């Protein structure tokens, strides 16, 4: 879980430090970022998401967020739907990063 948190913190920090024009994905001028959290419990995660969304919007990106309510399998289904929906970037905050890594390796959607 610490690895997943650290990775997520680094991604959130990177977008916060970005300047306009730094975020681009290929030819897409308005990248779509998927923000998948295992459970939006507590004020801290809501505050982080709101700050992330605000900064992404300033930089011209759209954020699509999901809350799995603590259900790992539901979160992975939500991630698959985000990918099918055309996200360019994924921020994943899993409950169990080991399980998330194993799931991603075995079942990731083919692009």
CATH topology of domain 2-12+29-95: Rossmann fold (3.40.50)
Q: pLDDT digits over 94-103, tens only?
A: 888 888 888 7
Considering the chain, what percentage of its residues have pLDDT values greater than 90? 45
- Span 76-80, average pLDDT: 92
Separation between Cα atoms, residue 99 and residue 22, nearest integer Å: 32
Contact indicator for 80, 106 with CB cutoff of 8 Å? no
Q: How far, in Å, are 12, 56, 91, 99 from residue 33 at the CA level?
A: 12, 8, 7, 22
Domain extents for the chain? 2-12+29-95
The pLDDT value given to residue 14 = 52
Q: Which of 10, 9, 8 is nearest to 91 (CA)?
A: 8
Cα torsion angle, 100, 48, 61, 85, sign:
positive
């Amino acid at each position: 879980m610490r690895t997943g948190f650290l990775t997520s913190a680094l991604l959130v920090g990177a977008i916060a430090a970005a300047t306009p024009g730094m975020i681009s994905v290929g030819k897409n001028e308005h990248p779509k970022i998927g923000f998948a959290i295992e459970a939006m419990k507590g004020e801290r995660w809501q505050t982080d998401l709101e700050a992330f969304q605000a900064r992404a919007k300033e930089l011209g990106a759209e954020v699509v967020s999901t809350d799995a309510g603590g259900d790992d399998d539901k979160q992975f289904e939500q991630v698959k739907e985000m990918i099918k929906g055309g996200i360019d970037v994924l921020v994943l905050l899993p409950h169990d990063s080991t399980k998330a890594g194993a799931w991603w390796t075995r079942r990731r959607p083919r692009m």
